[in-house]
Amino acid sequence: MTVLLTSLTDVVDRPAVTVGSDTLHRGELLSAAAAVAAQVSGASAVAIDATATIETVVATVGCLLAGVPAVPLPPDSGPTERAHILADSGAQLLLGTQIEGVSMPAVQVDVRAAAPAPSTEPDPASAALIMYTSGTTGAPKGVVLSRRAIAASLDGLADAWQWTADDTLVHGLPLFHVHGLVLGVIGALRHGSPLIHTVRPKPPAYAAAGGTLYFGVPTVWSRVCADESSARALTSARLLVSGSAPLPTPVFGRLADLTGHEPIERYGMSETVITVSTRADGERRPGWVGVPIAGVSSRLRDDAGHDVEHDGESVGHLQITGSTLFDGYLNNRSKTESEFTADGWFKTGDMAVIGPDGFHRIVGRESVDLIKSGGYRIGAGEVEHALRAHPAVAEAAVIGVPDADLGQRIVAYVVGDEVTEGELSDFVASTLSVHKRPREIRRVESLPRNAMGKVQKRLLRTENDN
């Protein structure tokens, strides 16, 4: 479809979005967003103070109606990061409350405002969002996502998840990431499913929402499993989706036992939106993220650029092509060009294995998760997956540290019950190749994570260097 927000003009008196205690019907959302569109029309880009509020939804929809790129600004961003995003994006105004230290004009979003919607749909090839990456290897980069790319991913997920207007989507994820904003807001508006945003993803709020389709990150699902009554309330749901980080096998199993639903796992990144997923009508395998969605193709390459066998064991560099890819990094042509192969495939930076049946398993980032030990190439993710299968392990993170003999040795950080280092190392060796066992295991109270639940391994590496 060429219209990105397909559902807004259909059945305008049907609820469109609820955030906390605030609800807007489709007609109300369209009118309020149209008022925002009139305010931002002609701007080169507009920043949004992306708090978990109904104002953020109205602001985002307003920018989409106007055809003005929206720049979601994380509310917890520090002054340096915030200044970089605002300057690099070329944002000309800020939708939301004035932020201390930000000199550009701030425009309050009035959810009661009303204006006629624009009569024309912006060009599908035009930029819809500029999403800034986490900046783990430098200053955050602006990922330019077109309306067409977003629509392609959302439509591919509608096919994979059988997502329709009959669903009610529930989540409490941040509104400045692909998961919470693109899938969780724009996806609901494109497919016509009412959205209930719980502000925070607390188990009782999920249980009380009465939805059919739920989004969460592994930390959310772990907490749901720890609250048995809330988990059992989700038995009436149709689909539970986990993403943004690997879902531990014990959480997968516990969630299935309590709710009756094996969760969907999927894979994507800011530059590609969501590209790979298990399917509502297919197998859901713990630790595996499924097959490419419609319009997307994937492949594995070795360091020399040769094909890697799809045998479910061989690790390779994951590359993606298809209709969901971003347009490039804003103001950074050289970086954009370096991330594509000569024949136009995007180099995700992730290491993966693909089975004969096309199922994908992500084993980690090549920059931090590819461990070269004793002449072997080992994905940290597969060792973590093996560790989390042990009943005493709640969480695990694996890194490679310099070793005079091996080149790198495998070090595991583990959260869980008392268990000996030798027992865990032997457990991994019994499920994977012996050379993949951790040489050192460090017990910790918790792992450092970002807002989306991803482990910040650079902090573990820093700790190891000190």
Q: Which of 452, 96, 449, 88 is nearest to 270 (CA)?
A: 452
Paired tokens of 87: 């300057």
So what's the pLDDT on residue 375? Answer: 64
Task: For domain 6-197, give the CATH number.
Answer: 3.40.50.12780
Coil vs helix vs strand at 299: strand
- For the chain, the 3-state helix, strand and coil shares in percent, each to the nearest 5, are 30, 25, 40
CB 363 within 8 A of CB 355: no
Per-residue pLDDT of the chain (466 residues; tens, 9 = 90+): 446 887 676 666 788 999 999 999 999 999 999 999 999 999 999 999 999 999 999 999 999 999 999 999 988 887 888 888 999 999 999 999 888 888 888 999 999 999 998 888 999 999 999 999 865 456 789 999 999 999 999 999 999 999 999 999 999 999 999 999 999 999 999 999 999 999 999 999 999 999 999 999 988 998 999 999 999 999 999 999 999 878 888 889 999 999 999 999 999 999 999 999 999 999 999 989 999 999 999 999 998 999 999 999 898 999 999 999 999 999 999 999 999 999 999 999 999 999 999 999 998 887 777 787 866 667 787 788 889 889 889 888 998 888 877 778 899 999 988 888 889 988 988 877 787 889 999 999 989 887 667 788 878 876 665 5
So what's the pLDDT on residue 134? Answer: 65
For 232, phi and psi rounded to 5 degrees?
-65, -25
Paired tokens of 212: 């059919």
Strand arrangement of the beta sheet that strand 70-73 belongs to: 106-107, 94-95, 46-49, 70-73, 127-132, 142-146, 328-329
Q: How many CA atoms lie within 13 A of 3 on its CB side?
A: 13
Which residues contact residue 193 at a Cβ distance below 8 angstroms, ignoring those fewer than 6 apart? 163, 164, 165, 166, 167, 168, 169, 213
So what's the pLDDT on residue 215? Answer: 98
195-197 and 213-216: which strand pairing? Answer: unpaired
pTM for this entry: 0.84
**Residue 374: left (phi > 0), alpha (psi -120 to 50), or beta?**
left
Helix 26-40 to helix 54-66 angle, to the nearest 10 degrees? Answer: 60
So what's the pLDDT on residue 138? Answer: 63
- The structure tokens 């209709």 sit at 323
Paired tokens of 263: 């969760």
What residue ranges of the chain are covered by domains with CATH 3.40.50.12780? Answer: 6-197
CB 73 within 8 A of CB 97: no
CB 61 within 8 A of CB 147: no
So what's the pLDDT on residue 1? Answer: 41
CB 267 within 8 A of CB 353: no
Coil vs helix vs strand at 202: coil
- Which amino acid would we find at residue 388? R
**For the chain, what's the residue count?**
466
C-alpha–C-alpha distance, residues 80 and 106, integer Å: 19
In eight-state DSSP terms, residue 98 is P
Architecture of the domain made up of 370-465? 2-Layer Sandwich (3.30)
Measured CA to CA in angstroms, residue 324 lies from 153, 163, 273, 288 at distances of: 5, 18, 6, 21
So what's the pLDDT on residue 11? Answer: 60
CB count within 10 Å of CB 173 equals 27
C-alpha–C-alpha distance, residues 53 and 277, integer Å: 29
Which residues contact residue 185 at a Cβ distance below 8 angstroms, ignoring those fewer than 6 apart? 17, 57, 60, 175, 195, 197
What residue ranges of the chain are covered by domains with CATH 3.30.300.30? Answer: 370-465
